[in-house]
């Protein structure tokens, strides 16, 4: 494999492809409806995926910053940052007339749409493209669909994970060869419509970090049959370290993300979803660690680490491979593409 350039595109460039892209990454206080953006980055690309410029800003969320140990942005750092309405115009100028590109684009788009709705402004985005969906369309031989795996496939070096500007750079560098591969193969890009929110009302009560209760009557449901985890249990989760494939994760109480979706994400990342808590459980995920449920009581008696949902979902982005796991062999990757300097 060699670095792609315009001359290596075997077929004429598809006329149906977009004329420009905005590669976006946002860091947030959590993943729930009332969580806020705390930093945002945009790389503008031309029709061929070449970098035109990039932009980055901090955003004051007007609330606690969430899992600081993940994104590193403290209240002190964010205190003097602009509010979202103060950066909305600049962000709009960078998104206008372009397809929004993100890794797990549904999340980035939903957070951006909510911020625009709070500011009573309509986001100038009509379509989005998820690079996870594109990787699946291209059938890339990835061990999973994390950004780190996509970057490694194309030889892109991550310098600072969970920093919006570096994550956006990495994605921009990995997107260009993906785009060229799609063009050569005649692959239809997985574009989805973006429907901006036009109204917003804040919850009357400030929620916990990354959490908004969704308690409903008669919410019991039977557990689903799930495939066995292929990785050995590496033991308990240790604070400020990544999750590792094979860890046994149990959930307790209501979650802001649908429970089955949250469990599916954990399994896709290589974790073992447990229906109960035992001495072998690596961690318990709950938004109410003081609740007198059997799972939380057992976790405390066993000394099992307990994490809130927002912290867990952030850690899901970069789960470490199981001990001794070997990634699939690939051709020699190209060097990372050069990016344009900041304006």
Same domain for 58 and 165, yes or no, is yes
Domain membership flag for residue 238: no
Same domain for 40 and 122, yes or no, is yes
Which one, of 164, 156, 149, 172, lies nearest residue 72 by Cα?
A: 164
Domain containing 67 — which CATH number? 3.30.420.10
Domain membership flag for residue 7: no
Query: Which residue in this structure is represented by tokens 């229906």?
Result: 275
Tell me, what's the pLDDT at 307?
A: 92
3-state secondary structure of 40: strand
Same domain for 269 and 155, yes or no, is no
Q: Residues near 151 by Cβ (< 8 Å), separated by ≥ 6?
A: 157, 158, 170, 171, 173, 174
Domain membership flag for residue 313: yes
Same domain for 157 and 275, yes or no, is no
Domain membership flag for residue 152: yes
Kindly state the tokens that stand for 262.
Answer: 């949250």
Helices (H), the chain: 68-71, 75-79, 84-95, 105-118, 131-138, 147-153, 164-185, 259-268, 294-302, 309-315
Question: Computed over its alpha carbons, how large is the radius of gyration of the chain?
Answer: 21
Taking the CB of residue 208, how many other CB atoms lie within 10 A of it? 17
Is 10 within 8 Å of 95 (Cβ atoms)? no
Domain membership flag for residue 328: no
Is 161 within 8 Å of 314 (Cβ atoms)? no
- End of a domain among 148, 178, 193? 193
Is 343 within 8 Å of 53 (Cβ atoms)? yes
Range of the domain at 29: 21-193
Same domain for 183 and 255, yes or no, is no
Domain membership flag for residue 8: no
Same domain for 293 and 157, yes or no, is no
Domain membership flag for residue 208: no
Same domain for 153 and 41, yes or no, is yes
Tell me, what's the pLDDT at 226?
A: 66
Structurally, the chain folds into a number of domains equal to: 2
3-state secondary structure of 251: strand
Tell me, what's the pLDDT at 202?
A: 65
Same domain for 294 and 171, yes or no, is no
Same domain for 36 and 179, yes or no, is yes
Same domain for 178 and 89, yes or no, is yes
Domain membership flag for residue 227: no
- End of a domain among 165, 193, 221? 193
Kindly state the tokens that stand for 108.
Answer: 């980035």
Domain containing 270 — which CATH number? 3.40.50.10190
With b meaning 16 or more CB within 10 Å and e meaning fewer, what string describes 282-315? bbbbbbebeeebebbebbeeeebebbbbbbbbbb
Q: Which residue(s) pair with 58 in the sheet?
A: 39
pTM exceeds 0.75 for this model: no
Same domain for 141 and 270, yes or no, is no
Same domain for 28 and 131, yes or no, is yes
Residues in the chain, pLDDT under 70: 1-11, 201-226, 256, 258, 324-343
Is 247 within 8 Å of 270 (Cβ atoms)? no
């Amino acid at each position: 494999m060699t670095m792609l350039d315009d001359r290596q595109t075997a077929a004429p460039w598809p006329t149906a492809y977009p004329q420009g892209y905005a590669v976006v990454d946002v860091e947030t206080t959590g993943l729930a409806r009332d969580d806020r953006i705390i930093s945002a980055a945009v790389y503008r690309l031309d029709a061929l995926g070449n970098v035109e410029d990039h932009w980055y800003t901090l955003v004051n969320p007007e609330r606690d910053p969430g899992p600081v140990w993940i994104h590193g942005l403290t209240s002190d750092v964010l205190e003097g940052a602009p509010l979202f309405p103060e950066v909305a115009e600049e962000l709009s100028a960078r998104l206008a007339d372009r397809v929004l590109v993100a890794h797990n684009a549904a999340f980035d788009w939903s957070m951006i749409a909510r911020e625009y709705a709070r500011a009573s402004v309509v986001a100038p985005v009509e379509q989005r493209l998820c690079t996870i969906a594109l990787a699946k369309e291209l059938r890339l031989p990835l061990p999973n669909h994390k950004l780190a795996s996509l970057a490694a496939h194309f030889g892109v070096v991550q310098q600072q994970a969970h920093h919006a500007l570096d994550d956006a750079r990495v994605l921009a560098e990995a997107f260009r060869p993906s785009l060229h591969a799609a063009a050569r193969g005649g692959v239809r890009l997985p574009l989805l419509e973006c429907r901006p929110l036009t109204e917003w009302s804040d919850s009357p009560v400030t929620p916990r970090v990354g959490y908004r209760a969704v308690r409903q009557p008669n919410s019991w449901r039977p557990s689903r049959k799930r495939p066995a985890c292929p990785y050995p249990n590496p033991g308990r989760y240790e604070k400020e370290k990544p999750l590792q494939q094979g860890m046994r994760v149990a959930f307790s109480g209501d979650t802001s993300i649908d429970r089955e979706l949250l469990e599916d994400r954990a399994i896709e990342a290589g974790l073992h979803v447990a229906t109960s808590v035992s001495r072998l459980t690596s961690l318990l995920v709950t938004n109410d660690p003081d609740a007198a449920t059997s799972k939380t009581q057992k976790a405390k008696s066993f000394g099992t680490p307990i994490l809130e949902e927002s912290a867990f979902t952030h850690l899901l982005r970069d789960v470490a491979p199981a001990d001794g796991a070997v990634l699939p062999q690939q051709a020699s990757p190209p060097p990372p593409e050069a990016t344009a300097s900041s304006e």
